[in-house]
């Protein structure tokens, strides 16, 4: 299979979307949330369109929209803006799809001393039990289904810093004493992954050398914007085996590298502040904001890296490290260090990729004049410069304190700590450490100060709500009051008895509230101080907003004052971005807080924090962030953020209209004004924002993960405002087929061929709940005709759907609703295909629970009235039930065409086993949970693939054996599907030569029907050994668990617990 064929695999495009979706969720910058929601809502068509444009060679990028973003101040401390672009979601997915295919081939060719933007691959430590042996690192294949594009920052930057420190020790001594290393350094030593610096006898150490080494570093100037697209194309041509033999792929890459800047919607003063300037029109560089940009930079640099690698292996007297554009060097001799850095500068120039060294960022800074003697602004004479530089660059190789990673070690410990398991004293200690990390003046060699602060701020914001501890005396007084009143009204009690208790409760509540408010206020002050130190670090600002949402603290006034103070000074352009970012983040928090108010599973304090957040927000003066009175003067990104915020307020108002009408009305008035609030319909969303209602409601459901199976109470009113002729609105209405509005039925009547052939199951759900509306549809469409025939037909025996509906009402211990029974039903579906006279395996291609007939012998004659009884009135035992099932078996027949049970895989054999396996898995899943009501999101075409992780959450909650859980995972979870492709498409996983470690040890792959049948029989045998009959002949089932089956890889990725830290 060629590279181009792999690119067109539907699985590849789906993996690309999952990675892009995760990148958006982790993003700290502005992006159009409505555009992302619209893409996901129309996922099936969007991915098909990308695939079509790839296949036909008609690819054309959409313009990249300039969104100036804050960056570190210049050397004089003045705020700066850097290039940042909003790339169309479609283009992001296309680029990641290309990286999925070609990335593993190129990433494997990168030298081990290059750490930044390395592609994600499975990695885990295997504990060695033999005496004297340490944990061994295993590097598995490149994985895609987990949704990670790059390795996590904590698995790259800390490793980069630790390898520098460890290399220094290795350069001056043959061995590194592991007992002198901390845990993170020991793991980093094991994670050398081919780093030649750690090889025995690698170093060519001069005989005159002592323990002193010389360290230096440099940065590349304006790295991403400077990389020429021609250099990227050359990298693919030269380094991807067979790339030049695929002209279609080369032509596609050339088209994808044609970027064009759209700087509309920004005023000239703002555009003039961007460094470097990004004029409208063709753009020859890597757009900052393109998720695949880090990989493309590595491709451009790889020819240089490869040449550097050869020189390093030839001389063996220099250590060279690279993290994106940061370079670090170690040498035995200072002059040799200067020579190497000059040689590297010549290499960059000779390869002509467009980048240059930033001469103001050398460390030591004196290198600026030593490496470029023509500079005339040297602060001292050359001899003195050299002396100072030598002193600054000197490092004790045996104890390289300048290169130590103690701060990283502390960050690692704090990142790995499970706060919920700590005692109160332990929590206080960890918070003190976080406060120190947040505010301490620590050198930036190990980790940048703003990055360190952002980490500490995020942890404090996350952990503070968990510090709340109820006052035990207050609880005691509440119990006293309850004992005194005994369920009666307080007003009916003797005041002499009740009043002292009530007074004491009020006093204690005031004390508790006061101490909690003081703690929350103090932590907010710490976070704000960190932001004020680094206002250009957007993440620190958004952590303030996150903190207000998590704790209910009112910090908006303090943020507003900062915005007003800097409205006209050097920070005025930074203020524009931070203000828009505030509304961008607030919009998501408004949605989650509104949903939280009606969630019964949340703690009282969590609902209280959500309410306080909304109330504080309504009181806040947000005009300082993004003004609302003159939209024409807003920058484009400000307008986008404001429309997201208005949409969130309106949606949040609808969510709490029943639980808190007063607060709901305040949100509505804040969104659209008091004059329009009276009698306003949801149609105003389209008028205000320009985006269809379907997009905004999908955004709500995706952000809050709410209304998974049933629509919200206001859905009928909202759906009436949809316009079914719009694709986004039609897809949005598909989410709840049982609740289609009249306008949707009207569109179906006008366009009977709107539905695809495999929409029969979806239409059946709609037809059963609204038979009159369905009856008015014309019969000219085969889909409508087939569903009409089914609804007019009366079944002689119950279907599997009716069976689960009936068993759900039975006693939980009844064998008919047992796990063993569920496995037996699937077993009976499978077994006939092994009979020479039985049906062909094609029968599984249209397997559907509606068409699996349950024998009448399994239920009593009056089962609809008395489902718990047998015909004789006796209780069912395990023995009698198993005998009944074996004598009378289920009868499957050609079923509904339902895309929700059968994936549409256009580029592989349509009768492939994986799609059949999924249908069998979904049937088993439905029986076990006693319901075939599918997640509402799956009713929108494409979501049944993208949101399959819903199954993972449900499977982990089912009270079933680990053996059956393993079967469900193998049938339904994305990782299992990916693992089945490892040998079929090894190039996709960087495992053509079979050198990757096997990470499928805990995966239970099911390669065919015989394997599935064997697994079912094994699970049933184990269950039967754990069945028993107790008093009164009551059947019981113990749940057997094998720990090996409950371990790793639950949701598509191995457990890399703090790998490399």
Tens-digit pLDDT profile for residues 431-461: 888 888 887 777 766 677 778 888 888 888 8
Average pLDDT of span 15-26: 96
Cβ atoms of 115 and 323 closer than 8 Å: yes
Q: Which of 334-348, 374-388, 651-665, 1043-1057 has the lowest mean pLDDT?
A: 1043-1057
Q: Which of 885, 829, 869, 883 is nearest to 852 (CA)?
A: 829
Q: Which residues pair with 363 in a beta bridge?
A: 217
Q: Which residues pair with 126 in a beta bridge?
A: 136
Alpha carbon 623 to its chain centroid, in Å, reads 32
Cis amide leading into 276 (omega within 30) = yes
Dump strand ranges (E) for 741-867.
Answer: 852-853
Ramachandran sector of residue 7 (left: φ over 0; alpha: ψ -120 to 50; beta: rest): alpha
> What element of type H or E holds 60?
none
What are the tokens at 62? 């959409």
HEC string for 375-407: CCCCCCCHHHHHHHHHHHHEEECCCCHHHCCHH
> What element of type H or E holds 355?
none
Q: Which of 11-25, 120-134, 445-459 has the lowest mean pLDDT?
A: 120-134
pLDDT tens readout for residues 369-381 = 999 888 767 888 8
Is 60 exceeded by the pLDDT of residue 909?
A: no
In the structure, what pLDDT confidence band is assigned to residue 643 with cuts at 50, 70 and 90? very high
Q: How far apart are CA 955 and CA 977, in angstroms?
A: 17
Q: How far apart are CA 305 and CA 562, in angstroms?
A: 45
Q: 């304090």: which residue's tokens?
A: 605
Other C-beta atoms lying within 10 Å of the C-beta of residue 949: 16
Average pLDDT of span 592-601: 93
Is 70 exceeded by the pLDDT of residue 905?
A: no
Cβ atoms of 43 and 17 closer than 8 Å: yes
- Specify the 3-state DSSP secondary structure of 86: strand
Q: Which of 334 and 1036 is assigned the larger pLDDT?
A: 334
What are the tokens at 628? 């609302």
Cβ atoms of 93 and 16 closer than 8 Å: yes
- Specify the 3-state DSSP secondary structure of 759: strand
Q: Which of 58, 78, 60 is nearest to 70 (CA)?
A: 78
What are the tokens at 586? 């607030």
Average pLDDT of span 216-237: 97
Alpha carbon 834 to its chain centroid, in Å, reads 42
Average pLDDT of span 321-335: 97
In the structure, what pLDDT confidence band is assigned to residue 856 with cuts at 50, 70 and 90? confident
Q: How far apart are CA 246 and CA 362, in angstroms?
A: 43
Q: How far apart are CA 63 and CA 195, in angstroms?
A: 41
Q: How far apart are CA 255 and CA 91, in angstroms?
A: 11
Is 70 exceeded by the pLDDT of residue 560?
A: yes
Question: What confidence score (pLDDT) does residue 631 get?
Answer: 73
DSSP H helices, 940-1043, are 943-946, 949-957, 962-972, 974-980, 1009-1024
The string of DSSP codes covering 176-203 is: --GGGS-HHHHHHHHT-TT-GGGSTT--
As a whole-number percent, the residues of the chain with pLDDT over 70 amount to 93
Q: Which of 856 and 821 is assigned the larger pLDDT?
A: 821
Q: How far apart are CA 11 and CA 143, in angstroms?
A: 12
Question: What confidence score (pLDDT) does residue 873 get?
Answer: 46
Average pLDDT of span 297-325: 97
Cβ atoms of 690 and 726 closer than 8 Å: no
pLDDT tens readout for residues 738-791 = 999 999 999 999 998 999 999 999 999 999 999 999 999 998 999 999 999 999
> Which whole-number Å values give the CA distances from 906 to 1, 704, 976, 987, in the listed order?
16, 32, 20, 20
In the structure, what pLDDT confidence band is assigned to residue 1058 with cuts at 50, 70 and 90? very low
Question: What confidence score (pLDDT) does residue 871 get?
Answer: 41
What are the tokens at 999? 């990470």
Q: Using the 8-state DSSP alphabet, how is residue 333 labeled? A: S
What are the tokens at 435? 């406060």
Q: Which of 932 and 473 is assigned the larger pLDDT?
A: 932
Contacts of 374 (CB under 8 A, 6+ apart): none
In the structure, what pLDDT confidence band is assigned to residue 12 with cuts at 50, 70 and 90? very high
Is 70 exceeded by the pLDDT of residue 915?
A: yes
Q: How far apart are CA 343 and CA 347, in angstroms?
A: 6
Cβ atoms of 58 and 720 closer than 8 Å: no
What is the four-CA torsion angle of 37, 41, 44, 45, rounded to 10 degrees?
-80
Question: What confidence score (pLDDT) does residue 864 get?
Answer: 57
Cβ atoms of 715 and 709 closer than 8 Å: no
Question: What confidence score (pLDDT) does residue 1050 get?
Answer: 41
Contacts of 660 (CB under 8 A, 6+ apart): 597, 611
779-787: Cβ within 8 A, 24+ apart: 780/752, 781/752, 781/753, 781/755, 782/757, 783/755, 783/756, 783/757, 783/759, 783/897, 784/752, 784/755, 786/760, 786/896, 786/897, 787/760, 787/763
pLDDT tens readout for residues 785-837 = 999 999 988 888 899 999 999 999 888 999 999 999 999 999 999 999 998 88
Cβ atoms of 989 and 996 closer than 8 Å: yes
> Which whole-number Å values give the CA distances from 50 to 25, 292, 755, in the listed order?
22, 16, 22
Question: What confidence score (pLDDT) does residue 600 get?
Answer: 84
> Which whole-number Å values give the CA distances from 900 to 940, 987, 1061, in the listed order?
9, 30, 42
Q: How far apart are CA 678 and CA 343, in angstroms?
A: 73
Q: How far apart are CA 928 and CA 613, in angstroms?
A: 40
Q: How far apart are CA 793 and CA 798, in angstroms?
A: 13
Mean pLDDT of the chain: 89
In the structure, what pLDDT confidence band is assigned to residue 106 with cuts at 50, 70 and 90? very high
């Amino acid at each position: 299979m060629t590279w181009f064929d792999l690119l067109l695999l539907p699985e590849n495009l789906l993996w690309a979307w999952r990675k892009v979706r995760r990148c958006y969720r982790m993003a700290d910058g502005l992006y159009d949330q409505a555009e992302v929601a619209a893409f996901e809502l129309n996922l099936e068509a969007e991915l098909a369109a990308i695939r079509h444009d790839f296949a036909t060679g008609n690819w054309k990028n959409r313009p990249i929209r300039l969104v100036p973003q804050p960056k570190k101040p210049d050397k004089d401390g003045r705020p700066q803006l850097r290039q940042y672009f909003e790339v169309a979601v479609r283009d992001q997915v296309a680029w990641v799809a290309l990286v999925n295919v070609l990335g593993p081939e190129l990433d494997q060719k990168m030298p081990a001393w290059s750490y930044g933007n390395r592609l994600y691959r499975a990695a885990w430590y295997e504990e060695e039990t033999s005496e004297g042996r340490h944990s061994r690192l295993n590097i598995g294949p490149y994985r895609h289904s987990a949704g990670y594009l790059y390795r996590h920052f904590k698995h790259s930057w800390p490793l980069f810093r630790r390898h520098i420190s460890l290399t220094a020790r290795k350069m001056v001594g043959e061995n590194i004493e592991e007992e002198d290393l901390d845990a993170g350094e020991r793991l980093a030593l094991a994670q050398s992954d081919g780093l030649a610096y750690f090889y025995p006898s690698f170093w060519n150490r001069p005989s005159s050398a002592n323990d002193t080494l010389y360290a230096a570093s440099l940065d590349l100037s304006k790295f991403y914007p400077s990389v020429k697209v021609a250099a990227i194309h050359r990298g693919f041509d030269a380094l991807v085996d067979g790339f030049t033999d695929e002209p279609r792929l080369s032509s596609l890459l050339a088209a994808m590298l044609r970027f064009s800047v759209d700087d509309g919607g920004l005023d000239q003063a703002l555009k003039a502040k961007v460094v470097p300037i990004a004029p409208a029109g063709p753009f020859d560089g890597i757009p900052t904001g393109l998720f695949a940009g880090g990989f493309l930079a590595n491709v451009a640099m790889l020819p240089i890296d490869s040449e550097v690698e050869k020189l390093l292996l030839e001389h063996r007297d220099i250590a060279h490290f690279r993290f994106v554009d940061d370079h670090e060097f170690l040498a035995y001799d200072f002059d040799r260090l200067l020579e190497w850095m000059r040689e590297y500068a010549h290499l960059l120039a000779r390869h002509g990729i467009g980048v240059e060294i930033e001469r103001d960022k050398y460390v030591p800074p004196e290198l600026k004049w030593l490496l470029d003697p023509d500079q005339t602004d040297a602060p001292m004479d050359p001899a003195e410069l050299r002396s100072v530089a030598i002193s600054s660059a000197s490092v004790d190789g045996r104890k390289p304190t300048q290169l130590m990673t103690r701060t990283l070690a502390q960050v690692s410990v704090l990142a790995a700590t499970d706060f919920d398991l700590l005692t109160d004293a332990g929590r206080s200690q960890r918070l003190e450490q976080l406060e120190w990390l947040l505010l301490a003046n620590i050198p930036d060699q190990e980790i940048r100060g703003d990055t360190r602060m952002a980490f500490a701020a995020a942890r404090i914001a996350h952990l503070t709500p968990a510090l709340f501890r109820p006052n035990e005396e207050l609880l005691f007084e509440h119990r006293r009051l309850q004992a005194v009143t005994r369920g009666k009204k307080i007003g009916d009690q003797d005041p002499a008895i009740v009043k002292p208790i009530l007074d004491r409760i009020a006093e204690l509540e005031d004390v508790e509230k006061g101490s909690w408010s003081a703690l929350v206020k103090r932590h907010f002050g710490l976070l704000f101080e960190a932001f004020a130190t680094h206002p250009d670090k957007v993440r620190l600002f958004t952590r303030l907003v996150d903190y207000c949402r998590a704790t209910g603290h009112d910090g908006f006034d303090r943020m507003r004052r900062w915005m007003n103070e800097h409205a006209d000074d050097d920070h005025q352009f930074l203020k524009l971005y931070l203000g828009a970012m505030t509304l961008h983040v607030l919009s998501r928090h408004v949605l989650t807080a509104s949903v939280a108010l009606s969630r019964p599973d949340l703690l009282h304090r969590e609902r209280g924090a959500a309410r306080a957040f909304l109330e504080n927000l309504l009181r806040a003066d947000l005009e300082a962030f993004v003004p609302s009175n003159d939209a024409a003067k807003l920058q484009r990104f400000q307008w986008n953020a404001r429309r997201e915020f208005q949409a969130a307020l309106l949606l949040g108002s609808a969510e709490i209209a029943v639980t808190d009408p007063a607060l709901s009305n305040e949100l509505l008035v804040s969104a659209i004004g008091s004059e329009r609030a009276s009698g306003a319909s949801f149609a105003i969303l389209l008028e205000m924002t320009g985006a269809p209602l379907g997009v905004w409601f999908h955004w709500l459901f995706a952000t809050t993960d709410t209304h998974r199976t049933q629509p919200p109470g206001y859905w009928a009113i909202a759906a009436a405002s949809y316009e079914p002729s719009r694709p986004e609105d039609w897809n949005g209405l598909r989410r709840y087929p049982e609740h289609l509005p009249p306008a949707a039925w009207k569109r179906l009547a006008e366009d009977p061929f709107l539905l695809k052939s495999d929409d029969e199951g979806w239409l059946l759900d709609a037809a059963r709940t609204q038979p009159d509306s369905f009856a008015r549809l014309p019969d000219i469409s085969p889909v409508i005709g087939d569903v009409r025939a089914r609804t007019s037909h009366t079944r002689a025996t119950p279907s599997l759907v009716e069976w689960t509906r009936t068993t759900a009402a039975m006693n939980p211990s009844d064998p008919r609703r047992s796990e063993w029974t569920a496995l037996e039903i699937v077993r009976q579906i499978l077994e006939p295909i092994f009979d020479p006279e039985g049906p062909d395996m094609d029968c599984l291609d249209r397997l559907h629970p509606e068409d699996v007939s349950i024998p009448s012998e399994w239920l009593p004659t009056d089962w609809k009235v008395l489902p718990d009884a047998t015909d004789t009135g006796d209780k069912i035992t395990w023995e009698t039930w198993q005998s009944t099932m074996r004598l009378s078996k289920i009868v499957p027949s050609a079923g509904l065409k339902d895309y929700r049970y059968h994936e549409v895989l256009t580029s592989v054999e349509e009768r492939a086993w994986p799609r059949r396996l999924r249908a069998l898995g979904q049937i088993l899943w439905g029986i076990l949970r006693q319901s075939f009501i599918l997640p509402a999101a799956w009713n929108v075409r494409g979501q049944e693939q993208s949101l399959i992780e819903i199954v993972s959450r449900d499977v982990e909650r089912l009270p079933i054996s680990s053996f059956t859980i393993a079967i469900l995972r193998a049938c339904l979870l994305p990782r299992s599907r990916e693992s089945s492709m490892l040998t079929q498409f090894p190039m996709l996983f960087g495992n053509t030569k079979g050198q990757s470690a096997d990470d499928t040890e805990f995966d239970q792959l099911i390669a065919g029907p015989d394997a599935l049948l064997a697994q079912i029989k094994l699970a049933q045998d184990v269950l039967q050994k754990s069945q028993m009959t107790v008093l009164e002949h009551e059947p019981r089932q113990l749940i057997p668990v094998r720990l090996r089956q409950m371990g790793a890889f639950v949701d598509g990725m191995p457990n890399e617990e703090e790998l490399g830290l």
